[in-house]
Every structure is written in C-alpha cells, then in structure tokens.
C-alpha cells in the first residue's frame, strides 16, 4: 500500500533535490519528457552521442532507457550509459517499447535486464514478452497499473484515456519513475508515487482540457502544481 502523504513526501524531495535524469529515448517524445521533468522539479538531459554519453551520465542521478528507437550506434550508447550507472549504484529504468513485436529488440531488452536495470516498465503485451523478472521493480501499465517488487504489489486505478492519445506520455511516466527513484531508496514506493502523480495529474488535466490537443499543456500545468490534497482526494488503490 501507499498513502497520499507518502506520495507527496517523495514529490517534495524531487522538488527540493532537483535530481538529474538522463533519458535515452525516442526523439518524438523528448520535448514532452523534458518539459514534464522540468515542471515537476527534476533536471533532464538527453544526448545519445557516443562521444558524450559517459560525461552526461556521470552527472545523472538516474537513467531512463527507452527502446523506442534503436538505430545506429544507440545500442552501444545504452550499454555504456547503463554500465556507468551500475558502477555508481544509481537507478536505471527500462521501457522496452515494442519488444513484443521485434525479436532482436526483445533479446536486447533481456540483455539489459541483466546489466544493471533496476526497474522495467511496459504494457501488458510487452511485459508478457519480457517474462519473469527478479529483484527489480516491475511496472505493468493498463487501466490499472500494477507495480511489483518481490512479494509486494501496489495496484493504481487512476488515469485518463487521453494519456494514450498523446505521444510521449508513456515515456514521461518512465522518466518520472527515474526522478522519484533518484530521491527515494525504496524502489516500489518511488515507482508507485511517480505513477500516481502522473495518473492523477492526467485526471485533473482532462477536466480542464477540451480534448487531447489541449490536454498535453494542461498536464504540464497540473504536474507543476499538484499537491497532497490532489492525492488525498483522488488516489485509488485496488486489491
């Protein structure tokens, strides 16, 4: 279980400590993710250049690896980034996008799971393709988000359908998990707090927006201002 006060406390630490999250991800989603991290209080960086990656990751408090695009030198960049984070004992989140479609991508995702990934986040089909995982936080998204670590499970029923209509919101959720895990040592608590923050913000933003086009900027506004009262009023945890 997780309470509204716990979510608010982790969020406040993000705002106070301003963790740096390095995200290797699909370029289509970079702006929303950078903006989302910034309005919440974290600091984004996003280079995927092989000449720069170790310098940038050396300054990062957490890493997001999103497999949305894997062209060119990106596999080597991801391996180098993950190795650096593992040596420093910092959290690394994997979003194995479309690993259920591509066998080479699935093989690479499984390789990364054994190379320092501390959390994996995907939809039901992607997580079924990944298979069983041990000793890491596992987030399966859907109408109810299921967050597991060992025998501990939290199920969150917040969110809004427009999240699926705006490119990058899934990527943003992984980035927020990274930011929260940078300041909260309990990976399950951090992941649940991050997922709840985005999902509840989405509900509030949808009430202010006229459709998916105005939903995205409204979401950023709400993330910037969200507080414990919003969590207390709206948090829905199911058995």
pLDDT in tens, 77-135: 999 999 999 999 999 999 999 999 999 999 999 999 999 999 999 999 999 999 999 89
pTM of the model: 0.97
CA distances 91 to 73, 116, 128, 184, 233, Å, are: 23, 8, 23, 10, 30
pLDDT of residue 23: 98
pLDDT of residue 236: 98
Examine residue 154 and state whether it is found in any structural domain, yes or no: yes
φ, ψ for residue 142, nearest 5 deg: 165, -165
State the average pLDDT over residues 173-191. 98
Question: What 8-state DSSP symbol labels residue 164?
Answer: G
Report the number of distinct structural domains present in the chain: 1
State the average pLDDT over residues 129-145. 95
Q: CA-CA distance, 220 to 166, in Å (whole number)?
A: 13
Examine residue 12 and state whether it is found in any structural domain, yes or no: yes
Examine residue 239 and state whether it is found in any structural domain, yes or no: no
DSSP of 170-218? HHHHHHHHHHHHHH-S-HHHHHHHHHHHHHHHHHHHHHH-SSHHHHHHH
Whether the pLDDT of residue 156 is over 90: the answer is yes
Examine residue 33 and state whether it is found in any structural domain, yes or no: yes
Beta strands in 41-162, from DSSP E residues, in sequence order: 43-45, 62-66, 92-95, 119-123, 137-141, 145-149, 152-156
pLDDT tens digit string along 225-235? Answer: 999 999 999 99
Nearest to 84 by CA among 115, 46, 43, 110: 115
Structure-token match 């259920």, residue found: 100
State the average pLDDT over residues 173-185. 98
Q: What percent of the chain shows pLDDT beyond 90?
A: 95
* Tokens standing for residue 39: 């309005």
CATH number at residue 202: 3.40.1190.20
Examine residue 18 and state whether it is found in any structural domain, yes or no: yes
Task: Supply the range of the domain harboring residue 31.
Answer: 4-234
Q: CA-CA distance, 175 to 95, in Å (whole number)?
A: 10
Q: What percent of the chain shows pLDDT beyond 70?
A: 100
Are 174 and 123 a contacting pair, CB within 8 Å?
A: no
For CA atoms 7, 11, 17, 18, the dihedral sign is positive
pLDDT of residue 72: 78
Examine residue 100 and state whether it is found in any structural domain, yes or no: yes
């Amino acid at each position: 279980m997780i309470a509204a006060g716990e979510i608010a406390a982790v969020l406040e630490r993000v705002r106070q400590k301003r963790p740096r999250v390095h995200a290797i991800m699909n370029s289509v989603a970079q702006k929303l993710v950078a903006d989302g991290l910034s309005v919440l209080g974290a600091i984004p960086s996003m280079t995927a250049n092989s000449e720069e990656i170790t310098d940038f990751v050396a300054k990062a408090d957490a890493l997001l690896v999103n497999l949305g695009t894997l062209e060119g030198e990106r596999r080597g960049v991801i391996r180098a980034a993950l190795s650096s984070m593992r040596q420093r004992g910092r959290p690394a989140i994997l979003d194995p996008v479309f690993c259920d479609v591509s066998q080479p991508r699935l093989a690479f995702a499984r390789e990364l799971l054994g190379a320092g990934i501390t959390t994996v986040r995907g939809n039901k089909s992607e997580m079924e393709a990944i298979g069983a995982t041990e000793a890491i936080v596992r987030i399966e998204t859907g109408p109810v988000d299921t967050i597991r670590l060992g025998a501990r499970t939290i199920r969150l029923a917040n969110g809004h359908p427009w999240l699926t209509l705006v490119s990058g919101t899934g990527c943003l959720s992984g980035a927020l998990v990274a930011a929260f895990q940078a300041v909260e040592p309990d990976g399950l608590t951090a992941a649940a707090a991050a997922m709840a923050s985005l999902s509840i913000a989405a509900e509030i933003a949808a009430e202010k927006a006229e459709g998916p086009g105005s939903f995205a900027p409204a979401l950023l506004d709400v993330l910037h201002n969200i507080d414990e009262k919003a969590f207390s009023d709206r948090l829905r945890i199911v058995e």
